[in-house]
Amino acid sequence: MGMTPKEVEDVFRSSGAFLEGHFVLASGRHSPKYLEKFQVLQWPAKTEALCATIVERVRAFEAETVAGPTTGGVVLAHEVGRQLGTRAVYAERKEGGPGREFRRGFPLRPGERVLVVDDIMSTGGSVEETIAAVRDAGASVVGAAVLVDRSGGAAAKRLGAIPLVALWEVEIETYDPASCPQCAAGQPIRKPGTTPAGKERAR
């Protein structure tokens, strides 16, 4: 039996991946909390266990390929694909424009059944862009899976009829920069992923 949502939460907390402060997210929105997935993904055994729970819940989708967006989605696509016995590909940001695309010689057949995976879903943008890239290549998206849906289920609605598997669903507030209470209070902001190792722990 796979991990429960509480067990997934415990993995993030025990790994030091649940951070509090003042953060700017990839979407540009601000939040007082941040899930640093690489504090979890740096541990292969933890990643394997989380992906095993995804695999248990998506096997019925009968995916032929697993696709993930850079960067954390690459790690998850590889491990989920390994456990499913499929290949894994990843979608990179388009150069000079919005959206994602498959490069590096990753072909997708017309109608190929693709599972899209990602780490943290905040607005659903990375998942949506990867879905669009799969469809642009002529393949078919059979489902999506994420470790954490931090939108409390709101982002999943943007996927429409595509089934979504989220191992842990939690609602963490986010703000437009113009209405961010921490900005109004003058609290210094951090952009996760830009602080050198060691200094992050010292904060």
pLDDT tens-digit profile of 141-183? 999 999 999 988 888 888 989 999 999 999 999 999 999 999 9
In a domain, 203, yes or no: no
pTM to 2 decimals? 0.88
Structural domain range at position 125: 5-194
* pLDDT at 201 > cutoff 60: no
Per-residue pLDDT band for 194 (boundaries 50, 70, 90) equals low
Write out the two tokens for 105: 């010689």
Write out the two tokens for 58: 């998506």
Instruction: Annotate 46-85 with b (16+ C-beta within 10 A) or e (fewer).
Output: bbeebbebbbebbeebebbbbbbbeebbbbbbbbbbebbe
In a domain, 202, yes or no: no
- Residue 26: what pLDDT? 80
In the chain, % of residues over pLDDT 90: 78
- Residue 202: what pLDDT? 33
CATH, residue 58: 3.40.50.2020
In the chain, % of residues over pLDDT 70: 95
- Residue 196: what pLDDT? 52
pLDDT tens-digit profile of 36-73? 999 999 999 999 999 999 999 999 999 999 999 999 99
- The mean per-residue pLDDT over the stretch 120-134 comes to 93
In a domain, 97, yes or no: yes
Total of domains in the chain: 1
* pLDDT at 99 > cutoff 70: yes
Per-residue pLDDT band for 105 (boundaries 50, 70, 90) equals confident
In a domain, 121, yes or no: yes
* pLDDT at 197 > cutoff 60: no
Instruction: Annotate 16-43 with b (16+ C-beta within 10 A) or e (fewer).
Output: ebbbeebbbbeeebbbbebbbbebbbee
In a domain, 199, yes or no: no
**DSSP per-residue string spanning 20-84:** EEEEE-TTS-EEEEEE-THHHHT-HHHHHHHHHHHHHHHGGG--SEEEEETTHHHHHHHHHHHHH
